[in-house]
Structure 1
């Protein structure tokens, strides 16, 4: 069974910042509104519709409009496993944040747990 998004998180509809910066099609962005953390799923190649489809899941530090940096989690041949890994990251982040009480440490712990 695929993980679900924790209650503290939500999906950002049409994340313009990602689309503009990466020229990505169909990006998915989940953020925790009250903290500077999120996770996204993006196509690896955005330059040509003829390129092979691959998707990457990545943790981000920042907010819905701008993030400071991405920490790649993993690249997949299909979108669904990347999406599931992103949801798993969000859940692992919540557990780590409850245990550690620190955003940076929770991001690191969650990335390590899902890689």
Structure 2
């Protein structure tokens, strides 16, 4: 799979969320499958969708993970797993759901409440 068009990923994102186009410092950068990372403007939070397994000949699954990145995406304080789903499209749906839940939540624990909303 080749890197996707960032314009496609931008469609339907809540206001304030943008795809990160320079993924040189993120895990999986040598994997040809498209890793997607979205950051929230003005907040130290991002959400990432990436393949669950390495891109290897014996890997025949299409499992994808979604994780929330606390802090700067290129030097995170911590990363919390949110979901493990079948297919990249499903992972992007979970990522968008997290962004929407984050925007709907308020207060200091909004990240945790958004994670809980998409994990249940």
TM-score, normalised on structure 1?
Answer: 0.82
Higher relative contact order, chain-length normalized (CA < 8 Å, sep 6+) = 1
Q: Which moved more, 1:84-93 or 1:57-66?
A: 57-66
CA distance in 2 between partners of 1:106 and 1:113 (Å):
10
RMSD over aligned Cα atoms: 1.9
Higher helix share: 1
Residue 110 of structure 1 is matched in structure 2 by: 114
* Aligned ranges 1:69-108 → 2 under 5 Å: 69-96=78-105, 99-100=106-107, 102=108, 105-108=109-112
Aligned-residue offset at 1:47: 4.7
Structure 1 unaligned regions, length at least 5: none
CA distance in 2 between partners of 1:17 and 1:57 (Å):
17
What is the number of residues matched between the two proteins? 107
Residue 16 of structure 2 is matched in structure 1 by: 8
Partner SS for 1:17: coil
1:53-78: CA deviation from partner (whole Å, max 9, x where unpaired): 21011111012422121111111111
TM-score, normalised on structure 2?
Answer: 0.79
